[in-house]
A = this chain, B = another copy of it.
């Protein structure tokens, strides 16, 4: 059993190292990414969308060239456990999702996915076993075409020095940066 270029055990090690623990969602995410690549032409350059910020983005960041910081991974939080890999230019791609109809044979997985029991009442060993045994069997695949806004590569405009905090910020944001203008105030105390 391979997850991209890794054995399952190698991938689980990577997950622990990067994500902090062997999270069920990241392991399932590994099967999802692998399945998506299996439906895409070899050697293509694909951007990624995750439909949830939870767990799945880390499987994508570990197994594709797409990261949050390089801009090739976008999170569109619609709360679904699904990802899409799509051609950067054409927008054509493949979406992989958890098919809820296919969860029936895996009671612990279903319990985890729908949160039918509190975490401390779930059987984590059984869950891990079911995830490995189920593999891609709980997944569905769709062909999708991404809307234009996912293909545009917006150039950042000019940078300026904010007159208040004296830091660099995108001039498009207005006469002050979004923090100093109060539109996104995140700090309660500051001593510069």
Contacts and interface: CB of A to CB of B under 8 A. Distances in A.
Interface of A: 18-20, 23, 25-26, 49, 51, 53-59, 61, 65, 67-71, 75-82, 84, 95, 97-101, 113-115, 140, 142-147, 150, 156, 158-162, 165-170, 173, 177-179, 184, 186-192
Contacts of A144: 187-190
9 contacts: A26-B69, A61-B69, A78-B184, A80-B179, A82-B167, A95-B187, A97-B167, A99-B167, A142-B192
Given A169-B79, A178-B79, A188 B69 contact: no
A20 B187 contact: no
Given A115-B159, A168-B98, A188-B145, A55 B69 contact: yes
Chain copies in complex = 2
Contacts of A19: 67, 69-70
Given A166-B101, A167-B80, A188-B145, A54 B71 contact: yes
B58 A69 contact: yes
A103 to B, nearest CB: 9
A81 B187 CA distance: 15
Contact of A78 (B81, B156, B169): B169
A169 B81 CA distance: 8
Contact of A184 (B65, B76, B95, B145): B76
Given A57-B67, A80-B177, 18 more contacts: A19-B70, A20-B65, A51-B186, A53-B69, A68-B68, A78-B169, A78-B177, A80-B167, A84-B187, A95-B187, A101-B166, A113-B168, A114-B160, A140-B192, A143-B189, A144-B188, A147-B187, A147-B188
A177 B80 CA distance: 8
A146 B189 CA distance: 8
A68 B78 contact: no
